[in-house]
Structure 1
Amino acid sequence: MDRIFVFSDLHGNGDALKMLLSRASEESCDHIICAGDLGLDRLGQHRNLLQGLAIPFSMVRGNCDSVWTFSEAGFSIPPKYTVLNLGDRIVFVTHGDAIPSWYAAPTPLSEKDIFISGHTHIAFVAQTSTGPIVMNPGSASSPRDSRPPSYAVVTDREILVKALVSRRVLEALTI
């Protein structure tokens, strides 16, 4: 895995999902991950966009993602967190409601590792002074600050948080 496309807090916005999947392809990403609050119950006919993707898709369950909704739709029930590898880095992904910060993660994380969460609807990326890089891609549909809807691209060299529509870089960190 070389380029991870990350989004969060879609809350069932089908038009935003279509744009996110288009951006993931344009960014030449080889994995897409949703950091929770997909809003499957509100995606309606857009649910089929998530099946048969050319790019592998995975997600973690957010506080608004009902286990029942996934089960009824025939989707696998997402875990509360997942761990990926990006080169020699551990990438820990959670929504942020059950595991609110890197020091609460059940997986030990070093300064080179990356902790990704959603939940706050506010995009940021930073290197902590005593732990991993922390990143939130912001909300793909309803940010809680003055910035536009956003997503992130994570590589072993940099993390970029970009505006969904304009692709303007909102946050950047060279790693």
Structure 2
Amino acid sequence: MKWMIASDLHGSAYWCEKLVEAFRREGADRLILLGDLLYHGPRNPLPEGHNPQKCVEVLDVLRDKTVAVRGNCDAAIDQVLLPFPIMADYLLLDLGEKLAFVTHGDQWGEGHPPAMAKGGVLITGHTHVAACTKHNNFLYLNPGSPALPKDEGHRGYLLLDGARAVFCEMDGTVYREITL
């Protein structure tokens, strides 16, 4: 199964549309959203194309292919509007020989990981900075943010396809690939 993972859309209908285009172009089977979907947050500028209502409409086309976790900017009203569940703090993703702990990143993150079996994978968003770091006990992956990348980072998403993790720019350009 080919998973597309993205985070921190922060209400940008423009980048939601680009994400749906990328999902189709990549031939992904499922989309995992790592939270902070509609609200831009008090510390962030308004992203390009900020229109949370339109974001809901755009994401609706992938309603049966999308799973999500709650971000620190997501609220109960967001769940009322969105057509797929978003209020879970984390999900576990079976990657065959490895298990991934998937969460937004505000409660558990690279510097404060959850309890995981050695060799596990931790996937978060929250920082708006793409990352791929091998630690002693786990591999850390973060797709960054399409809407509000920080530190002049990549504006993109992550693909998990079998034992491969592929980091892509929004136009599909691969800038990093690793074996899990």
Fold-level similarity (TM above 0.5)? yes
Aligned counterpart in structure 2 of residue 141 of structure 1, from 140, 147, 150: 147
Letter in 2 for 1:153: L
Structure 2 stretches lacking a partner, 5+ long: 41-50
1:74 Cα deviation from its structure 2 partner = 6.5
Q: 1:87 aligns with which of 93, 96, 113?
A: 96
Determine which of 51, 54, 58 is the counterpart of 1:45.
54
Write the letter of the residue equivalent to 1:161: F
Once residues 151 and 177 of structure 2 are traced to their aligned partners in structure 1, the CA distance between those partners, rounded to angstroms, is 18
Amino acid at match of 1:156: G
The reply on whether 1:123 has 2:122 as its aligned counterpart is no
- In structure 2, the CA distance between the partners of 1:74 and 1:52, relative to structure 1 (3 Å rule), is closer
**Distance across 2 between alignment mates of 1:81 and 1:55:** 19
Q: How many residues align?
A: 170
Normalising to structure 2: TM-score of the pair?
Answer: 0.83
Mapping of 1:4-153 within 5 angstroms? 4-39=3-38, 42-53=51-62, 56-71=65-80, 76-101=85-110, 104-106=113-115, 108-111=116-119, 113-128=120-135, 130-153=136-159
Which among 166, 171, 174 is matched to residue 169 of structure 1?
174
- Name the CA shift for 1:22/1:133 in 2 (closer, same or farther; >3 Å): same
The TM-score, its normalising length taken from structure 1, stands at 0.85
Measured in 2, the distance between the counterparts of 1:54 and 1:70 equals 13
Give me the whole-angstrom Cα distance separating, in 1, the residues matched to 2:127 and 2:149: 8
Separation (CA, whole Å) in 2 of partners of 1:38 and 1:70:
10
Measure, in 1, the Cα distance between the counterparts of 2:66 and 2:36. Answer: 15
CA distance in 2, matches of 1:53, 1:23: 12
Contact 1:159 1:172 in 2 (8 A): yes
Cα deviation digits, residues 48-70 of structure 1 (max 9, x gap): 23235276101111111112332
Counterpart CA distance in 2 for 1:36 and 1:20 is: 14
Q: Which amino acid aligns with 1:14?
A: A
Give unmatched runs, 5+ long, in structure 1: none
Q: For residues 123-152 of structure 1, what are the alpha-carbon distances to aligned partners after superposition, in whole Å with 9 as ceiling and x for unaligned?
A: 011222x21211000011111122341101
